[in-house]
Structure 1
């Protein structure tokens, strides 16, 4: 039996052994066949304390009986063995080597040398746990994960890829030829391999795969080159995403966006979208037309301030932001200004929208009110013209009756006055008085004649006429007239004006009346502007002067018979009334307005001849 003894009791071999054990950093202890610890080296004493004379199983395991696998006959037969242990007293994992000490003369001694492998075992356990986590992640990822060879065989696939491609098991999928059975276009496989081997990876490569049943799916493939196989072949690892459903949604969204774009672009109303800073982000073709914006105008320079008064923009934004507005506004009437600065009245409907950037913006639908306002004005003019025509007809009938009643006694007065003048001596003091009677009676006769002409419904002699030529003929009458010596006449009459149907004499009378009235209003000093153009099936002539103009209160009466602003001595008030009747008989209209900058403006419109 081996006992702890002074060094001098051991032979040199035993002394050498103890010296070696004492220098070792590993745990070393010797026990006898009764499991008693008879020696501990300093390293073990430092970590576990002194256990000499106590049982080894108490020291290592804290147990009350020998370890079940520990067999004295086996150890003491000259054999050795390595084994891992968890030391409860030191919370370490050790690997121990058991050595029979008979070679040093201790026939019942067993040397145990233990090495601390706690960190190594923990690393192994950690790697195993990670491997388990990775394997679990590999199997449960919702996307397909694979490892394949460059020749076109799967080495590893997860269940998600099996399900994605419609195979019944991993084994079945591992057996397919990737190029032949998976790729819709085998050439795509070559393209993929060329990219992945040139760059070392492929990210987000879109292509089509075949499922087992032959149906097509859209996928996104990401892969990279990994280590070579045992036979030197390259392998690829990666993931496969089935984006078929996403592609279908994209198609639906694209179709919806295209539909909305077509709706916006085909809208007869202008549609614009602006951000809160006032920058215009979107305009449909109707908006470009409404605001007179050229198609090539830089979009970045378009701001709502260019087209809307600052106070109107502030009012609209405040109304949209109000709690009771629910982010919607309108319809309301707003005045815009096109890129040329021209006023554009519109009906505006607006709402708050979310922009792509996440910020709030405003979408406005603008309906051009100019056509409806023009139609309304046309209806009002038509109504006024109808009322005036009826009034003129009534006045005409009255004037005809009055003229006939006055004409007979007026003729008798003139006859008696001429007879009295003939019988009267030339030096009679009464002769001048009789001559005044004749002069005033003849003036009355002239008025009666105009009344009869005004009342007479005479059909105009229709011939093809050029309005520009008619105006030039009228102006020729006044070339040397004193009233026009200090009047500047400006004409803007195109040579290619279409012809109209009309009575030359009557149309000359119309323009003569207007021109004379303008010259008299300017008292022989100023500018007369005559413009002509074709518009909406009519030839329109605008005659403007720089006189005092016509007050608004008199515009409705200016075409009435006997209405004049010249006083009793300078006019009968029939010129414009006769002109109105002539123009109406020609299917046209005559209007009075204001000239920008001051003065009157008469507008006369005649329908274009059908054969023009």
Structure 2
């Protein structure tokens, strides 16, 4: 047995045991050093003064030329080639010392080969027996590739956000609870939100009629509307912030993540412009049909008028012969007068039909429209129907000439003046205006009569339509004939009327050779 001779000197056994412990510690140290150096990522050990005490091979190769370039140097000198400490806001050590926990930051560091790389730096404290920090282990990880991928993803995301934001179609995205999480500018304008944050968090059902939102979700989850998760087409109504309903076309889809429903997206199209265009198209189609109908009626009227004209002439002739022979038979005379009166009415209708169906081109020449109007008014003013009617002439002083048939245009103006007098029942104000508007010579005929009922406005230019009673012997052809004459002159006629207040007929003609505004200034000459 090995033992000590006295207590001050170790025995041979003690020396042998200490040697074995030292050998084992040395062996463990070598194993640790080999492990430390074999790590693929840079690792350094620092003291509390932020100077490196050790660094593995990967650290030396990445940040220094040799061990001497690292050990004993501060972290800011080795990593950032600076003699000044880092800004505390970007340094992990203040937080590490304060809370004695690992801290991770991201920094761009220039490697020994001169290439800058983004590094994730994790600094972890090593606590001594007293609980105080004795050393700091710093591990580095090159995250440049992740940064590049992240940048590309961010760029792609920004690009898609720009696509959504700049889309002319309104786009809405809501979570599965129905809360709006995205609404582009077009959608905000459609719904009336003034700013970006306004709609966020609002229940999307607020913008649908009751139950419509659930109906859309039901279709999205059905196979019958384009497949599960898709709604290819649907017309519905949405409501803006004021509750006003807007017709829209909607396409929608469910957004999935790992097979789970996470959101819904809807792309809308405001149907109001299309509906308005369809209305205009339908109106134009009806006008075309009406024109075709008028042309057909005209051709039919010509044939009928010619067929009736001769028999009516015979009826009138024989009725007048009988009247001459029955001077003393008062009752029979009254009856014959009624026959003649009705036959005369038929003749007027036939004449109107012939005028309406007239196919010949007008005998046109250069005309002063004011002169034609003055001639027409000089004729109507002498009639008893106009005795209590004030005629106001507000004629443009310098108007360009038009090309037209004087007698046909007088027929139009005469018809409008007579209609106005009858609407005013012989008492009121008839105003005739001329002027220039939008490159056209305009004539307005205004009366203060009974006006036209709204339901009759669209019918007044139809053949045989009349609001006059039988006593007034209206044929319903005057305005139809006038409309046709104006159309053959390349013009147009329209009417504005308020029942009980009067009507205004506006006629537009193209000037003979266009219009020079400096040569033909607007003016009124009463």
The normalised TM-score by structure 2 is: 0.61
Deviations for 1:391-426, whole angstroms, at most 9, x for unmatched residues? 221211221333344345545655665676578648
Q: What is the DSSP-based 3-state SS (H/G/I as helix, E as strand, rest coil) of the residue aligned with 2:178?
A: coil
**1:183 maps to 2:122:** no
Q: Which residue of 1 aligns with 2:392?
A: none
* CA–CA distance in structure 2, aligned partners of residues 152 and 474 of structure 1: 109
Q: Which residue of 2 aligns with 1:291?
A: 191
* CA–CA distance in structure 2, aligned partners of residues 393 and 502 of structure 1: 27
Q: Which residue of 1 aligns with 2:297?
A: 395
Q: Is the 8 A contact 1:499 1:608 kept in 2?
A: no
Q: CA deviation at 1:328?
A: 1.8
Q: What is the DSSP-based 3-state SS (H/G/I as helix, E as strand, rest coil) of the residue aligned with 1:332?
A: strand
Deviations for 1:506-561, whole angstroms, at most 9, x for unmatched residues? x879x999x43x1xxxxxxxxxxxxxxxxxxxxxxxxx46xxx99xxxx9x99763
Q: Is the 8 A contact 1:207 1:220 kept in 2?
A: yes
Q: Which residue of 2 aligns with 1:155?
A: 53
Q: Is the 8 A contact 2:179 2:203 kept in 1?
A: yes
Deviations for 1:45-67, whole angstroms, at most 9, x for unmatched residues? xxxxxxxxxxxxxxxxxxxxxx5
Equivalent runs, 1:82-121 vs 2, <5 Å = 83=13
Deviations for 1:361-392, whole angstroms, at most 9, x for unmatched residues? 21112233344444444444444433332222
Q: Which residue of 2 aligns with 1:488?
A: none
Equivalent runs, 1:257-336 vs 2, <5 Å = 257-295=157-195, 298-300=198-200, 302-322=202-222, 325-336=227-238
Q: What is the DSSP-based 3-state SS (H/G/I as helix, E as strand, rest coil) of the residue aligned with 1:326?
A: coil
* CA–CA distance in structure 1, aligned partners of residues 38 and 208 of structure 2: 60
**1:145 maps to 2:47:** no
* CA–CA distance in structure 2, aligned partners of residues 481 and 270 of structure 1: 57
Q: Which residue of 1 aligns with 2:352?
A: 450
- Say which structure, 1 or 2, has more relative contact order (CA 8 Å, 6+ apart): 2
Deviations for 1:181-205, whole angstroms, at most 9, x for unmatched residues? 6427x48844259966766469444
Equivalent runs, 1:309-388 vs 2, <5 Å = 309-322=209-222, 325-354=227-256, 360-388=262-290
Q: What is the DSSP-based 3-state SS (H/G/I as helix, E as strand, rest coil) of the residue aligned with 1:310?
A: coil
* CA–CA distance in structure 2, aligned partners of residues 305 and 79 of structure 1: 93
What's the C-alpha RMSD, in Å, of the aligned pairs?
5.8
Q: Which residue of 2 aligns with 1:532?
A: none
Mind listing any 5+ residue stretches in structure 2 that lack a counterpart? 128-133, 371-412, 429-435, 496-504, 518-526
Aligned residue pair count:
431
Q: 1:590 to 1:567 in 2, by over 3 A?
A: same
Equivalent runs, 1:186-197 vs 2, <5 Å = 186=82, 189-192=85-88
**1:504 maps to 2:434:** no
* CA–CA distance in structure 2, aligned partners of residues 268 and 278 of structure 1: 23
Q: What is the DSSP-based 3-state SS (H/G/I as helix, E as strand, rest coil) of the residue aligned with 2:331?
A: coil
Q: What is the DSSP-based 3-state SS (H/G/I as helix, E as strand, rest coil) of the residue aligned with 2:330?
A: coil
Deviations for 1:338-366, whole angstroms, at most 9, x for unmatched residues? 3444443333222111489x862211122
In our comparison, the structure showing a higher alpha carbon Rg is: 1
